[in-house]
Structure formats: C-alpha cells, structure tokens
C-alpha cells in the first residue's frame, strides 16, 4: 500500500476545490441565462450552455442568440468558448494557439514569478477594464491569477467585453508551481 504524501493531500484538496467551483460556474451560468431572458423587451435572448469535464479540465461553450420576440427568424448569433484548464494544458495552449496571456495579479506578485510571455494587467487596478479595450478580441485570451479567484472575475469581464475565446488556468499560478514541482520530482 502506498503511503499518503503531502502532495497527494494537496491534489485531493485541489480536486475538492475544483468540484465546488464547477458547481458555482453552472449556477452562475443558469442565473445569467435567466437574467438575460428577463431583461429583453422586444428581443429574446436564448443562451445555450454546454459544460464538459475531460481529464479534470473544464470546457464551457456558451451560445447566445438574439431573436425578435414573437418571430421565428433569428437575429445575431454569437458563440463564446470558455475553457478552464489545468496548468500543463494552459501552457500548451499558450504555446500552440498564440493567444494573449494575461496575469491579473499585482505587480509585486508578477515580479515574484510569472509565465513566460505573460502581460501583467492587475485586476485590482482601476484601469483593468480600460486595458481590455486595447486587446484583440478575436484572438484567444489566456488568463490566470494567484489561486483562481481574480482570474474567474476577469474571465467574466472578458466575456462581457466581447472576447469569444477565453482560457482560464484552474488554481492559478500557485497550482502551476505545485504541478511544476511535482513534475520535477518524477
């Protein structure tokens, strides 16, 4: 029988955290759909959301379609691809999809270590939303923070600002360093 290590305990804690986080994401998605439909006056907004979990990584595909109320013809349709992935897949996506990698931690946290090629846009800075206007909305945006809280809020702001392909690192930079440490021991 294998002894339980501190690393195994941390992985289990992270899995528990991720499960609770998924529940919150699903509830927020449902609330978003209800609010969007309730606020439409002459237009109806139909939100279809699909959540997939594969190998512990979460993909959320959200399609928003605006239609005239009482009409069978549809208006504009917009698909938003949101992926919440582990650190290894995040780094792989950053390398292969040539996206815009943003670190939403403070400047001091960023200086303490960050992913290669990441741009520091402090989420807590009042200029964060204005900085989004200077980014390419058609290119993938990869976002991370220290532990996942700020990047989840930033992901929501990115979505509201019109970004259509968003990748969030699950567990943030802290999780990244834990995974790198575990990988180096093998």
Active site residues: 145
**What distances in angstroms separate CA 170 from CA 45, 79, 119, one per listed residue?**
29, 22, 18
Which of 149, 13, 144, 1 lies closest to 83, judged by CA? 144
- Could you give the residue ranges of the DSSP H alpha helices within the chain? 6-39, 87-96, 107-111, 128-132, 149-160, 172-184
Instruction: Using only the alpha carbons of the chain, give its radius of gyration.
Output: 18
Inter-residue contact 90 to 56 (CB < 8 Å): no
Tell me the two tokens of residue 160. 């509201």
Q: What is the DSSP letter of 101?
A: E
Report the half-sphere exposure of 148 (CA within 13 A, side-chain side): 17
Tell me the two tokens of residue 150. 């700020």
Q: Token pair 């976002």 is at which residue? A: 143
């Amino acid at each position: 029988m294998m002894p339980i290590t501190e690393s195994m305990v941390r992985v289990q804690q992270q899995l528990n955290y991720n499960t609770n986080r998924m529940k919150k994401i699903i509830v927020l998605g449902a609330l978003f759909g209800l609010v969007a439909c309730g606020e439409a006056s002459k237009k109806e907004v139909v939100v279809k959301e699909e959540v997939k979990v594969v190998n512990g990584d979460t993909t959320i595909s959200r399609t928003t379609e605006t239609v005239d109320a009482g009409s069978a013809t549809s208006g504009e349709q917009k698909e938003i691809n949101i992926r919440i992935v582990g650190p290894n897949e995040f780094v792989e996506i950053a390398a292969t999809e040539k996206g815009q990698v943003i670190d939403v931690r403070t400047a001091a946290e960023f200086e303490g270590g960050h992913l290669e090629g990441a741009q520091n846009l402090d989420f807590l800075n009042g200029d964060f939303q204005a900085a989004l206007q200077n980014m390419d909305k058609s290119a993938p945006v990869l976002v991370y923070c220290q532990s996942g809280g700020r990047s989840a809020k930033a992901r929501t702001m990115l979505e509201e600002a019109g970004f259509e392909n968003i990748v969030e690192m699950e567990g943030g930079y802290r999780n990244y360093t834990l995974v790198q440490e575990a990988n180096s021991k093998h």
